[in-house]
Structure 1
């Protein structure tokens, strides 16, 4: 069984290009691609999944940001570490 987090941000006005670029920069700073690849090739580390930001075309109503990410679950406390990591990422862009 796996666990995922789902995230959505809503507001009355769409993101500006500057805000969208800032979000991309924050997400990139929390990137786990190297960890994903290391686990895929060696089986070492956590079984991370990359952060997923849905395309703008999938947003509805007042949504300005939405996505989902599976949490790592292959070791004790892996889900806790994964949730903490992605919550820090989401908290970083929420204040931009």
Structure 2
């Protein structure tokens, strides 16, 4: 069963500008960044209990986020849910 919304991911074309905007304009606490090299993605984390906002940006201008931005521009990229039984949820949602 899906138990919670873990995070909302937003693809952004300008990583530093977006981080600054979420901190200054929206007043959200900034938890830091992480480069996810296998996914060619840079991420920034903003906790907003009971969920989180995650900004995603292409690492070195390549990868799936770069393709997404080229096709669609910035915006909602994905929602991530928590589950107490992922196999059951995947089977049910197919």
**Which of the pair is proportionally richer in strand?**
2
**Which of the pair is proportionally richer in helix?**
1
